[in-house]
Structure 1
């Protein structure tokens, strides 16, 4: 079992928040990692595996013109997938994976090009965690290795957002600057 998935489930449970997953190249592996954790049903709303490009538009509301112009392997597509699954499944947080696992390049992108994204609630104050974040990856290895590293990376990105928001450092610094008010 993935400890990152266990940490995600634990943090979301404590916060009383939910998660939805949109997957392309990972084909359901992210959802499988999360649901392997006991207690995941408290936080996991569901997932959409939109492997075909047209499904990214139809099910996740990814902009059709963006898909036509840039293809499915694009940072904006990943961001829109995360936001779209969050909305479609009514979750507090949405995460997404899109990329090229191989063996052939896709949409002019080389094998190992991956984008992972998270979309979540905006916290209070400037500089707070949440909103949309995308991370670009350039992975090496065989197809299975690229897919598993994509799973690890999207869970790590979500954890970073959850932990960053949970600490409330921005709020503490703001309070100090404003004389404790």
Structure 2
């Protein structure tokens, strides 16, 4: 058996952020699920790298293709036929569907294009761009991230950090949350 290569995971720059997220979730007894696309499971893996993550992390899904989008994101054949690329509304809907299915306090969603290439019309993806949402039962916050690069691995790591940062900002009360239409009725 060959020795394990020394690739620190998560990146050292993530550790303070992950510890802060963990403390914020534990201090409120909140639970979390993750629905991600182009981060490919890195958001979930990063959160699970924190000792005691089982106190807040319920589960996650990578909805990279149509099949898991139908299973986890509540997509129908009509959604597939009308898909033209990720938007803040789509990632919010994704996170809301997974939050409800997993029965958690929060769900964070991520959906973008890591690159280097992207699909052409009618699908509109921008390499180096992702959309992020944090959803609770009553409210949500979204963020758009543009890295300006088309290098897949760099974007996956940058998208993961941006996703974790939005989660931390929501948990810390540092972003203005919008209320779901159904919650205000």
TM bracket, shorter-chain basis? 0.7 to 0.9
RMSD (Å), alpha carbons = 1.8
Question: How far does residue 55 in structure 1 lie from its aligned partner after superposition?
Answer: 1.9
Partner of 2:135, secondary structure, is: strand
Per-residue deviation, 1:137: 1.4
1:93–1:4: structure 2 CA closer, same or farther, 3 Å change rule?
same
Query: Residues 66, 40 of structure 1: CA spacing in aligned structure 2 closer, same or farther, 3 A cutoff?
Result: same
Which residue of 2 is the match for residue 44 of structure 1? 57
In the TM superposition, structure 1's runs of 4+ consecutive aligned residues that sit over 6 Å from their partners are none
Which is helix-richer, 1 or 2? 1
- The equivalences for 1:145-164 within 5 A come to 145-164=154-173
SS at match of 2:172: helix
Question: What is the correspondence of 1:8-23 to structure 2 with a 5 Å cutoff?
Answer: 8-23=21-36
Q: Deviations over 1:82-134 (max 9, x none)?
A: 11111111110000111000111232222112101110143xxxxxxxx1221
Unaligned segments of structure 1, at least 5 residues: 123-130, 166-181
Number of matched pairs: 157
**Residue 124 (structure 2) aligns with:** 108
Unaligned regions of 5+ residues in structure 2, if any? 1-9, 175-185
Name the CA distance, whole Å, in 1 between partners of 2:17 and 2:80. Answer: 31
Q: In the alignment, which of 116, 129, 133 is matched to residue 117 of structure 1? A: 133
Q: Report deviation, 1:62.
A: 4.2
Query: Residue by residue, what CA displacement relative to the aligned partner does 1:124-169 show, whole Å, maximum 9, x if unpaired?
Result: xxxxxxx12211111123111111111111111111111118xxxx
Give the TM-score normalised by structure 2.
0.78
- In the TM superposition, residue 23 of structure 1 has moved relative to its aligned partner by 0.8
Query: Which of 43, 48, 54 is the matching residue for 1:30?
Result: 43
1:134 — aligned with what?
Answer: 142
> In 2 relative to 1, CA 135–10 (structure 1 residues): closer, same or farther, beyond 3 Å?
same
Q: Which residue of 1 aligns with 2:181?
A: none
- Listed one character per residue, the Cα deviations across residues 41-71 of structure 1 (whole Å, up to 9, x for unaligned) are 1000000111103422321214654443233
Counterpart in the other structure of 2:3: none
TM-score, normalised on structure 1? 0.80
